[in-house]
Homo-oligomer: A and B are copies of this chain.
Amino acid sequence: MSNQPLNKKLHFELIREDSGARLGAVHTAFGRVDTPAFMPVGTAASVKGMMPEAVLQTGAQIILSNTYHLMLRPGADRVARLGGVRKMMNWKKPLLTDSGGFQVMSLGPLRKMDENGVTFKSHLDGSRHLLTPEISTEIQHKLDATITMAFDECTPFPATKSQAAESMALSMRWAARSRQAFVDRTGYGQFGIVQGSIYPDLRLQSIEQLHEIGFEGYAIGGLAVGEGQELMFETLSATTPHMQADKPRYLMGVGKPSDIVGAVMRGVDMFDCVLPTRSGRTGQAFTRFGAVNIKNARHADDTRPLDEACACPACTNYSRGYLHHLFKAEEIQGLSLLTWHNLTYYQELMSSIRHSIGKGVFNHFVSNFKEQQAQGDIEPL
């Protein structure tokens, strides 16, 4: 449980299991990441509206940046010249980058996929680009990602079983090529991504193939793409028990607080999602008692804080009335404060989860959480 410089590979320490949940730590070249962990998203090498010092204050120990956005602007070589994403943006802790696969798949008619990879047109200037497992891995190297993700196809939902099988098989061939292209460095690592849509036997096949290749961690991809929470939880329940216990498990792009709690119950260790940052910019705040839309007129004269139990600057220094005013007046400070609050809420959630697993009372935490959620939802998101 030390925090000393790492002289070996990025690795996972499993500290305790409790009711399916895992307390652990990912040890990296840039410090430990306590798990279950939530990674704020800094798409273009900036967590929108936040200074990195503020992100750190929320309790975040790792952030995520997007390969697709950074390869187009400012460009991977330019990022490398500026010292990599971490140095460039003055984020001293670990950084995970996605592979770019998810974004280029979303480009629809702007992209063309074959065995080699994906050709696509930039949404910025229409310029033509190619992403392959090798190129994605090389770009992530240039970005100086502490954790590099394998290049894969995020299988669309819904998919027939044969579509899902074909897509998964391609992702597994790409995973092997991604691993081949990965340049190992002390305290850095690469994660493979489990695909297979909602089909347990495909998920199992995918896991077996990834284990055979061997990664420092394993992500669960192709969920939170429209299948709904119930089916996501079912798929997780059929997937995580087959994943190596001594490696971190990362559920990509998830999610709402209740998604996270349910996934932790099913053995997931890491999460990322734009929800707290994006919601903050539109005036939606997460609180222990559900969502608050600060733009709602009923907050205009409210001298109370957003959440009196929260220690973030938005809650300790300002009234709901002032936050409401900042959003009405379209002041930048408003969205910064609500983003700060939401990221604090998410990190508090993760910290409470870790604490309860550590004490062996995660079941109790879950009951309390569900009770609060049931009482809450005062202004559903």
A: residues with CB less than 8 A from B are 44-53, 69, 73-74, 78, 81-83, 88-90, 300-301, 303, 313, 317-319, 321-322, 324-326, 328-329, 331-336
Contacts and interface: CB of A to CB of B under 8 A. Distances in A.
Contact of A74 (B52, B78, B325, B333): B325
A326 B46 contact: yes
A333, A335, A336: residue with the most chain B Cβ atoms closer than 10 Å: A333
Contacts of A51: 313, 333, 336
A43 to B, nearest CB: 9
A331 to B, nearest CB: 4
Contacts of A333: 46-51
A334 B335 CA distance: 15
Nearest to A332: B49
A81 B82 CA distance: 49
Given A73-B329, A74-B300, A333-B51, A82 B46 contact: no
A78 B48 contact: no
A321 B46 contact: no
A37 to B, nearest CB: 23
Contacts of A313: 51, 53
Contacts of A50: 333
Given A74-B328, A300-B74, A332-B335, A82 B48 contact: no
Contacts of A88: 318-319, 321-322, 325
A83 B318 CA distance: 11
A115 B73 CA distance: 58
A24 to B, nearest CB: 31
